[in-house]
């Protein structure tokens, strides 16, 4: 049994050293490593969560008319009323932005393959940032009542992710060293100095809220729209290169 353990350990050592010898030259173009001896390269992640403190709402005002000028005029009037209503709810004007404005010809293809022009659709998309996350439902309800007939999405955000990113990064570095130590020990060697380290971040959003699409305020009721902010998942990734002795 003892001989079998020694044989497996020696084989693992040989395999790890062979992989490192082959990997270091190819890796050099991406991670600058200067080491005379073998190295171990590990990638590790650390994850933490953050509670959202603001929301981003995308609203749309959609109008249709046979005459393009009339469709645009109606849209302009409704959009101005909507923006005024949002501002009256305490949203600063610099947090209200027109994200897109488009005019689409409408065709009837039932009468022929080429289609007959029946009118025009004008879409004005408006993005709002709500700093008080507890007011998101009320702002949505008020916006729909003020003329928004399409709600594209509601996304929840964290205004400052520095703390969450730092926590995730520390977890990733700790895990990276653990992995490097495990590999080095399995190869029957000692972990040496840290030669190189690089990092990156990724933020994912998890929530119970689905995209909202409304043709009108029908079904909204007299109260605020019920929403659940969920949480943000922040993941840090590090690539670490250690010497092996």
pLDDT band at 21 (very low <50, low <70, confident <90, very high): very low
What the chain holds in terms of domains, given with CATH numbers, is 2-50+161-204+236-244 (3.30.110), 54-157 (3.30.70.2970)
* 25-67 pLDDT per residue, tens: 334 334 455 557 899 999 999 999 999 999 999 999 999 999 9
Decide which of 202 and 2 is more confident: 202
Task: State the pLDDT at residue 41.
Answer: 96
Does pLDDT of 23 surpass 50? no
- Estimate to the nearest angstrom the gap between the alpha carbon of 93 and the chain centroid: 25
Mean pLDDT, rounded, of the chain? 81
pLDDT of the residue at 224: 61
* Element holding 162 (H helix, E strand): helix 162-186
% of the chain at pLDDT higher than 90: 61
pLDDT for 118-131, tens place per residue?
A: 999 999 999 999 99
pLDDT above 80: residue 2: no
Least confident of 21-35, 42-56, 148-162, 175-189: 21-35
For the cut 80, the answer to whether the pLDDT of residue 107 exceeds it is yes
Residue 132 has pLDDT above 70, yes or no: yes
Predicted structure pTM score: 0.67
| Confidence (pLDDT) at 9 | 45
Burial class of residue 223, CB neighbours in 10 A (0-12, 13-18, 19+): exposed
pLDDT of res. 231:
85
Q: What are phi and psi of 178, to 5 degrees?
A: -60, -45
- Buried-state track 63-77, b at ≥16 Cβ within 10 A, e below 16: bbbeeeeebbebbee
Whether residue 178 has pLDDT greater than 90: yes
For 26-43, b/e burial (b = at least 16 CB within 10 A) is ebeeebeeeeeebbbbbe
């Amino acid at each position: 049994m003892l001989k079998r353990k020694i044989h497996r350990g020696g084989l693992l050592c040989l395999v790890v050293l062979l992989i490192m010898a082959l990997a270091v030259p190819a890796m050099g173009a991406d991670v600058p490593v200067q080491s005379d001896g073998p190295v171990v390269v590990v990638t590790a992640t650390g994850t933490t969560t953050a509670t959202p403190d603001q929301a981003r709402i995308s609203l749309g005002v959609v109008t249709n008319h046979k005459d393009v000028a009339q469709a645009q005029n109606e849209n302009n009037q409704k959009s101005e009323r909507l923006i005024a209503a949002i501002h009256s709810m305490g949203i600063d004007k610099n947090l209200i932005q027109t994200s897109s404005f488009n005019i689409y010809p409408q065709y009837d293809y039932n009468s022929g393959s080429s289609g007959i022009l029946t009118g025009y659709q004008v879409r004005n998309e408006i993005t709002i940032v709500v700093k008080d996350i507890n007011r998101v439902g009320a702002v949505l309800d008020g916006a729909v009542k003020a003329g928004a007939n399409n709600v594209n999405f509601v996304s929840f955000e964290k205004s400052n992710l520095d703390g969450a990113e730092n926590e995730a990064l520390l977890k990733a570095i700790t895990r990276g060293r653990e992995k490097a130590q495990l590999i080095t020990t399995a190869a029957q060697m000692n972990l040496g100095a840290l030669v190189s380290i690089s990092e990156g971040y990724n933020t994912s959003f998890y929530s119970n809220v689905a995209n909202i699409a409304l043709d009108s305020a029908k079904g909204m009721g007299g109260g605020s729209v019920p929403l659940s902010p969920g949480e943000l998942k922040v993941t840090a990734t590090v690539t670490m290169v250690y010497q092996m002795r």
